A = this chain, B = another copy of it.
């Protein structure tokens, strides 16, 4: 299976129009927060944030497959001592566009940057808003199960007594099946709170987006060969992870340097992926930079 990676240079609102409808299985992105990262993105002042984002989310709604999911990583900043409301307004407006606001995951940043203010504590969490086009969407829960270790043993110990009694009293009842279910269960489903450390391994890009974040959602909402889109690619973490996980990926960014950087970074990944399978086959990266 050959994995494609497309990178578009330009404004998301425009570049997204080039993508066919219903062609994306997962959108994971962390847009520039309002009035932050001014140096790289020019900064969108909070009052205009919703207006700025809505045309983009409209395009995203079009390109997303009905079984797909949109994960939006965002957190409101403090303005004049108060939390901004643009995230809430954005959710309300996106629902008017037709998006379903399915869930809100919390990303608990374990090692966020220390700091002290007179009237607030360190902000150590961010929102991960899940939007869908349809109430029926693909979700592969087993893929993100975590090992449970001792928990299962304890559980088994507790069960064993009752279990023996039941086994002795009834042979061939349904209980045996249940027990085997317990035995199989060495993994647990996660909750809607994610514990991840912030790792900013890329000094050139200011967004601290740990690889585990897109990885977790890619595992949860896509399978191999699906297509992942990040309309605010930045340093390309989402694309790198997607490629490694054998998903097609599409990235858009308005900064030429990022596009070039991600392009370079992805080449070795693809070579590594292709090598074992198509050893003597000619490698066609199928990658392009469309300069508007």
Contact = CB atoms under 8 A, between A and B. Distances in A.
Interface residues of A, number: 62
A125 B165 CA distance: 21
A242 to B, nearest CB: 20
A292 interface: no
Interface in A70-102: 80-83, 85, 88-89, 91-92, 95, 100-102
Contacts of A85: 91-92, 95, 101
Interface in A124-181: 124-125, 135-137, 139, 141, 146-151, 154, 161-162, 165-167, 169-171, 174, 178
Contacts of A112: 191
Interface stretch (A17-25, A113-121, A252-260): A113-121
A141 B189 CA distance: 36
A172 to B, nearest CB: 9
**Protomer copies:** 2
Contacts of A82: 100-102, 135
B197 A171 contact: yes
11 contacts: A83-B104, A85-B92, A108-B108, A116-B189, A119-B136, A122-B192, A124-B193, A149-B161, A149-B165, A162-B188, A170-B196
